[in-house]
Amino acid sequence: MAKYLNQDDVTKFAKYRRLIAKAESWTKKKREEFLEQLSKGFICPKRGPWVLETTPTEGNVSWKQEFENYLTTRYLAQFDGDEQLARVAAIAKLEKIAASAERTPGIRLDVKDNEKYNTKKSAAA
């Protein structure tokens, strides 16, 4: 006999996943709007429980781009200083490394609509 997951937990999990996705989408959009407005001289109100403030950051390092640049520099001598050919060779090397890299297997848990749910619901009505 098949063992089933707890339906209430599955439903709650799916609802929270969708809620998190909506919240992340909304906050990303609002962040962009706020940054644009602040750059135009808008000021954050101080009447509510929270305020927004900007903090300068250095940004993230793209290690893939850094390695590509490093390989391009190394390949320049092989291609008589032709940067375009050196970059093509660097990208090919990166792709070869990525293709042969060992990956840690994992399992994604995706939420999708249950097509049979509406069918059962309408059939019962």
* Residue-range domain boundaries for the chain: 1-40, 62-100
Residues 73-98: tens digit of each pLDDT: 999 999 999 999 999 999 999 999 98
Helix, strand, or coil (residue 36): helix
What are the two backbone dihedrals, phi and then psi, of residue 74, each rounded to the nearest 5 degrees?
-65, -35
* Per-residue pLDDT band at 125 (split at 50, 70, 90): very low
Output the pTM of the full model: 0.54
Spatial neighbors of 111 by CB under 8 A, at least 6 apart, are 13, 14, 17, 18
Residues 2-58: tens digit of each pLDDT: 999 999 999 999 999 999 999 999 999 999 999 999 999 999 888 888 898 888 888
pLDDT, position 119: 61
